[in-house]
């Protein structure tokens, strides 16, 4: 008997929605992605793609496209905030390929997103922009757009991010993400500016992830492809006005906050001419990601937004897409769809919850005040370089 060919509708063309689109299309189904924005792009600057994500991307034929726009960091270096001394160094090349089956890539988000969009188009995924979903009929199933148009499908996947309308429709109530008490300053500085300072040379000579830990804050820095830009993320306590989640900030804020940190980090911050800050929010675990009709499921930040302290938010959204696509590829009869969605949820929910909770726990490790506990942490890090686990 021929396998069923479903019409799958995905809400949201973010990294999660596009990954699900690729995996589902490669599994033999028709895929339409609806995106509210008027252009296809990604906001923010750099992104880390760990091997639990790169393995899927490679299996979809994306190694060359992402390699072309990425840097391979040789190591992950955890540093003390005061002097930048390396407390722990975890090699990434060739370890992640050999042990975890994929590279650890860095790239600009826009390049990652474009690689996914190009792949979608090359395999026949349809993407419609200017298509904001405002309502879902879970039984039909169908979505209503802001324009009033109604679009039906066999299966609807809600991949519409942190402030998900799909989650709200599924729950039948507003369910805003929770504040975490932290924010992220996201910054790009020009490598040619860094080159003027001899003491910054080590950060651009050999690509690595450099990570400074200090009281209430941390900094994550890495080189982007082409040596044009250096990516800096500074995490600090949330100081944003109520109800504003993204805004431009005065660079003097970060100069003041980090004034007693490693002089080299301070020097990088002195090169910053413009900066945006983002309130960091996450989700509590939902009771279910699927609708009882068996024709709808959530994916990515829409159901498991996380603090970025394990660099896993997009990675687990890619995993969601990969697992969903693999299961849909096994479908032999349409009547199996509700069971397949339950299986998807069963395979994913515990894992993503442990990553969301684990990311929050990392804050206590990274943001320790100076004192006995912090000295013990540093001693342990110096003694046993911890292997990453993907
Ligand atoms: P989104 O990227 O939010 O995409 C949702 C899409 O849905 C958007 O395009 C939106 O326009 C669209 N949409 C929304 N509502 C509707 C609607 N009603 N109708 C139609 N379309 C709609 N993750 C990593 O793996 N590695 C990292 O290094 C990393 N660093 C991070 C650093 C910071 C500072 C932050 C804040 C996050 C970081 N993350 C990282 C997390 C990662 O960015 C997110 O987890 C990931 O982008 C979520 O993807 P998504 O597709 O689920 O959601």
Q: How confident is the model at residue 206 (pLDDT cuts 50, 70, 90)?
A: confident
Q: What is the pLDDT of residues 121-157, one digit of tens each?
A: 999 999 999 999 999 999 999 999 999 999 999 999 9
Residue nearest to atom 3 of ligand 1 (CA): 161
Q: How far is the CA of 137 from the centre of ligand 1 (A)?
A: 24
CB-ligand 1 contact for 191 (6 Å cutoff): no
Report the alpha-carbon distance of residue 350 to residue 105 in Å, rounded.
26
Work out which ligand 1 atom sits closest to the CA atom of 233.
Answer: 34
Work out which ligand 1 atom sits closest to the CA atom of 53.
Answer: 25
Q: Which long-range CB contacts under 8 A does 378-385 form with residues at least 24 apart?
A: 378/80, 378/87, 381/78, 381/87, 381/88, 382/87, 382/88, 385/88, 385/89, 385/90
Phi (first) and psi of residue 36, to 5 degrees: -70, -30
Q: What is the pLDDT of residue 41?
A: 87
Q: How far is the CA of 87 from the centre of ligand 1 (A)?
A: 31
What is the pTM assigned to this prediction? 0.97
Q: How far is the CA of 15 from the centre of ligand 1 (A)?
A: 6
Q: Do the strands 30-34 and 7-11 form a parallel or antiparallel pair, or are they unpaired?
A: parallel
ipTM for the assembly: 0.98
Q: What is the pLDDT of residues 242-285, one digit of tens each?
A: 989 999 999 999 999 999 999 999 999 999 999 999 999 999 99
User: Bridge-partner residues for 222, per DSSP?
Assistant: 231
CB-ligand 1 contact for 136 (6 Å cutoff): no
Q: How far is the CA of 210 from the centre of ligand 1 (A)?
A: 23
Q: How far is the CA of 333 from the centre of ligand 1 (A)?
A: 33
């Amino acid at each position: 008997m021929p396998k069923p060919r479903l019409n799958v509708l995905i809400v949201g063309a973010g990294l999660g929605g596009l990954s699900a689109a690729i995996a589902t299309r490669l599994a033999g189904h028709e895929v339409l992605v609806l995106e509210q924005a008027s252009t296809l792009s990604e906001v923010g600057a750099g992104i880390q793609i760990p091997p639990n994500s790169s393995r899927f991307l490679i299996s979809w034929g994306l190694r060359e496209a992402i390699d072309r726009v990425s840097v391979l960091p040789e190591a992950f270096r955890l540093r003390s905030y005061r002097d930048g001394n390396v407390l722990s160094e975890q090699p990434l090349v060739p370890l992640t390929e050999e042990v975890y089956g994929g590279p650890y890539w860095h790239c600009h988000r826009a390049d990652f997103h474009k690689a996914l969009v190009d792949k979608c188009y090359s395999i026949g995924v349809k993407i419609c922009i200017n298509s904001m979903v405002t309502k879902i009929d879970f039984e039909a199933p169908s979505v209503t757009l802001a324009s009033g148009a109604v679009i039906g499908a066999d299966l609807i996947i809600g991949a519409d991010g942190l402030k998900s309308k799909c989650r709200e429709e599924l729950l039948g109530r507003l369910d805003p993400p929770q504040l975490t008490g932290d924010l992220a300053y996201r910054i790009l500085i020009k490598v040619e500016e860094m080159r003027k300072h001899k003491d910054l040379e080590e950060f651009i000579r050999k690509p690595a992830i450099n990570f400074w830990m200090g009281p209430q804050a941390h900094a994550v820095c890495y080189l982007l492809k082409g040596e044009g830009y250096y990516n800096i993320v500074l995490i600090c306590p949330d100081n944003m006005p109520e109800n504003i989640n993204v805004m431009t900030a005065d660079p003097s804020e970060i100069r003041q906050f980090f004034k007693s940190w490693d002089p080299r980090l301070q020097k990088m911050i002195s090169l910053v001419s413009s900066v945006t800050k983002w309130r960091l929010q996450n989700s509590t675990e939902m009771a279910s990601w699927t609708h009882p009709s068996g024709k709808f499921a959530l994916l990515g930040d829409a159901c498991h937004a996380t603090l970025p302290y394990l660099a896993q938010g997009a990675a687990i959204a890619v995993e969601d897409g990969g697992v969903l696509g693999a299961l849909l590829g096994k479908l032999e009869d349409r009547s199996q769809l509700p069971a397949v969605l339950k299986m998807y949820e069963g395979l994913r929910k515990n894992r993503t919850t442990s990553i969301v909770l684990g990311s929050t726990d990392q804050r206590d490790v990274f943001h320790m005040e100076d004192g006995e506990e912090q000295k013990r942490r540093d001693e342990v890090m110096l003694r046993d370089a911890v292997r990453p686990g993907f």
